[in-house]
Copies of this chain bind each other. A is one copy, B any other.
Amino acid sequence: MSALRVNNLAISLDGFATGDGQSLEAPFGHAGERLHEWYVSTRFFHAQDGLPGGTLGVDNAFAEQHEQGFGAEIMGAGKFGPPNWQDDPDWKGWWGPNPPFHTPVFVVTHRPRPSIEMDGGTTYHFVDAAPSEVLEQARQAADGADVRLGGGPTVVREFLTAGLVDYMHVAQVPILLGRGVRLWDGLESLEDAFDIEVVSSPSGVTHLTFVAKPR
């Protein structure tokens, strides 16, 4: 069965998955790269850039799951580009000509455009549909493999609310951003639908694993 999985979604201690003031120069707003230092320190991330070294503990174990078993990704409009990227007909995402997805990617936006085929197996599809319909399309494209729900927080919240998420890994970083976009808003009693496991890392990050209960 093709699962819908969230991996390596980083939040601050006060629950913000992205900072305030997102722009072309600051994709995560005033958060900068502070939510992802643990991630870029891992051997998994180093290897992607052809670099040696990197951490090998629990942070790396979680980081590695980011690429395992996926046949498609769903992402929100807020992840694909800076605010109002829809006004730029030439915008093709943050990730250059050979994006790191290597699968079909379904960008959820109220202003869809024709699909864009990139190098390395990534094709961007733009969809304006309810979560269940987007997931249905992504599942067909994934051809039996899992579907990654790649964020940001708003789209993750929508799919959680719709009861569609099978697995979620959240990395809580011990900083307080104070402002930005919260992950947890409007999700009262989410724990009723998930088994939750928690493990802290020497890096200071707390990894929370949510596994959906049978439904």
Is A93 in the interface zone, CB < 8 Å from B?
no
CB under 8 Å from chain B, chain A span 126-176: 172, 174-176
| One of A39-47, A70-78, A112-120, A187-195 at the interface | A187-195
Contact A174 B208 (CB under 8 A): yes
| One of A59-67, A83-91, A103-111, A197-205 at the interface | A197-205
A204 surroundings in chain B (CB, below 8 A): 196-198
Is A27 in the interface zone, CB < 8 Å from B?
no
A186 surroundings in chain B (CB, below 8 A): 178
How many Å from the CB of A214 to the closest CB on chain B? Answer: 19
Is A206 in the interface zone, CB < 8 Å from B?
yes
Contact B184 A14 (CB under 8 A): yes
Each complex incorporates copies of this chain amounting to: 2
How many Å from the CB of A163 to the closest CB on chain B? Answer: 15
How many Å from the CB of A55 to the closest CB on chain B? Answer: 16
Query: Nearest B residue to A207 by beta-carbon distance?
Result: B200
A144 CA to B213 CA, complexed, in Å: 52
Is A15 in the interface zone, CB < 8 Å from B?
yes
Is A179 in the interface zone, CB < 8 Å from B?
yes
> Knowing that A13-B184, A174-B196, A198-B206 are A-B contacts, what are 19 other residue pairs whose CB atoms are under 8 Å apart, sorted by A's residue number?
A14-B15, A14-B184, A14-B185, A14-B187, A15-B15, A174-B191, A174-B208, A175-B191, A176-B187, A177-B188, A178-B186, A178-B187, A178-B189, A179-B188, A196-B204, A198-B200, A198-B201, A198-B204, A200-B206
Q: Which 9 A-B pairs have the closest CB atoms?
A: A178-B188, A14-B184, A200-B200, A198-B200, A174-B196, A176-B190, A175-B191, A176-B187, A206-B206
8 A-B pairs with C-beta separation under 8 A: A13-B184, A14-B15, A14-B184, A14-B187, A15-B15, A172-B206, A176-B188, A179-B188
